[in-house]
Amino acid sequence: MSRTTQTAFVTLTSALSLCVALWQPAYGQTAATERHQVNATTVAEGLNFPWGLAFLPNGDALITEKSGSLRRVSPNGAISAPIKGVPDVVYKSQGGLLDVAIDPNFADTPWVYLSYAEADPAGGDGNSTAVARGKLNGNALTDVTVIFRGAPKYKSGAHFGSRLVFSPQGHLFITLGDRYSAMDDAQTLDNHHGKVVRIWPDGSIPKDNPFVRDDGALDAIWSYGHRNVQGAAIHPETGALWTVEHGPKGGDEINIPEAGKNYGWPIATYGVDYDGSVISDQTHAEGTVQPHYYWVPSIATSNMIFYTGDMFPAWQGDALIAALKGAKVARLDLDGERVMHEESLFAELIQQRIRDIAQGPDGAIYLITDDRNGRFIRITNAAE
């Protein structure tokens, strides 16, 4: 073999090796966990910073993109054109089209609920989290109405919350953020910053909301003292609302928000200074509730579910918390409400920030990733 031939051969071999390396099925992989062997499959990709994910009764998924599009994705990965009728959103920093939820009685009336960053209708430069609903007809929402508008409108691109979950009694919980620079508002009741609110799906206020008889407080408020609550789920046995919120630097929290209670932010937090030299933050404050569980350092909690499917029997009743940091899902093994153990799942399979998590009608676990080329991923049991 001549030197030239040899070089060419080496180059070809290298190129082939590279091709083989690139040719690995990067997103269809298997991993071991403590109790189940799992497969991850990318159902669809090319989603533009997807944020919210909800399943329709027919098995299709509705997925929001932060820039303002709501799309329907079929189980085989076909992505629809944007659904018409979605409200205008403020697409800036953390703001945009955020969560999506399906009415518990969708079969009767096909209401779809959307949370989003809404500009000031009066023309000011502030914005706030709002929630609208519309009826899904084909590829359009009709009868679109705003059922909640965060107050006040505030000039910030940060900390909008905002997950949507229905209580077993049919209330709609909306989780909100403190808007970052307005964090002190989380401790006062004349605004929606740093609150969880509870409304009826038509926007009316439940008569037994905790502050309806307090003239200085906004009637929708359910609980306060939160930072930026981007995850929520209803416990399948107790029916109680659980939430996860981002901490400042460390101190991501799970809470079980009860009516009228104060969850401490910003007067009490487990956020810490990592140099260990000076700890100025209080972890406890009179009249505030300790977190149910917390993370230091932060994992950057996005959303959570309680797993109730048959596909992963060992995970039934567990809380699965998706994380932006570390591209993982934290599994909390629960005995009732008590955390017995934490396991870190899926990080080697995903390698992108995880923005939302849902259990599919098939019992698989679905994730969407926070990326310009966002992926919609199905996690299945490799033993099935």
Residues serving a catalytic function are: 159
By CB under 8 A, residue 272 contacts a copy of itself: yes
By CB under 8 A, residue 225 contacts a copy of itself: no
Instruction: Give Cα 227 to chain centroid, integer Å.
Output: 15
Cβ–Cβ < 8 Å for 301, 228? no
Q: If you write DSSP's letter for every residue of 68-116 in order, what string do you get? A: S-EEEE-TT--BPPPPBTPPP---STT-SEEEEEE-TTTTTS-EEEEEE
Cβ at position 371, least distance to a copy of itself in Å: 28
By CB under 8 A, residue 291 contacts a copy of itself: yes
By CB under 8 A, residue 283 contacts a copy of itself: yes
By CB under 8 A, residue 258 contacts a copy of itself: no
Task: State phi, psi for 48 to the nearest 5 degrees.
Answer: -95, 95
Pick the stretch among 72-80, 125-133, 292-300, 349-357 that binds a copy of itself (CB under 8 A).
Answer: 292-300
Residues sharing a CB contact under 8 Å with residue 250, sequence separation 6 or more, in sequence order: 270, 271, 272, 274, 295, 296, 297, 298
By CB under 8 A, residue 292 contacts a copy of itself: yes
By CB under 8 A, residue 275 contacts a copy of itself: yes
Cβ at position 340, least distance to a copy of itself in Å: 5
Cβ at position 37, least distance to a copy of itself in Å: 5
Cβ–Cβ < 8 Å for 350, 327? yes
Reading the block at residue 164, the tokens are 């949507």
Cβ at position 338, least distance to a copy of itself in Å: 6
By CB under 8 A, residue 279 contacts a copy of itself: yes
The position carrying tokens 């609110």 is 197
By CB under 8 A, residue 315 contacts a copy of itself: no
Among 122, 169, 335, 372, binds a copy of itself (CB under 8 A): 335
Cβ neighbourhood burial of 132 (10 Å; 0-12, 13-18, 19+): buried
Q: CA-to-CA distance for 156 and 160, rounded, in angstroms?
A: 9
Diameter over CA atoms, the chain: 92
Pick the stretch among 85-93, 168-176, 216-224, 336-344 that binds a copy of itself (CB under 8 A).
Answer: 336-344
Cβ at position 282, least distance to a copy of itself in Å: 10
Cβ at position 87, least distance to a copy of itself in Å: 39
By CB under 8 A, residue 265 contacts a copy of itself: no
Name the nearest CA neighbour of 42 among 23, 52, 24, 27. Answer: 27
Q: CA-to-CA distance for 349 and 135, rounded, in angstroms?
A: 36
By CB under 8 A, residue 37 contacts a copy of itself: yes
Name the nearest CA neighbour of 357 among 139, 165, 159. Answer: 165
Pick the stretch among 61-69, 148-156, 159-167, 284-292 that binds a copy of itself (CB under 8 A).
Answer: 284-292
Among 258, 342, 348, 384, binds a copy of itself (CB under 8 A): 342
Which residues contact a copy of itself (rule: CB under 8 A)? 31-37, 250, 270, 272, 274-277, 279, 283, 290-296, 314, 333, 335, 338-343
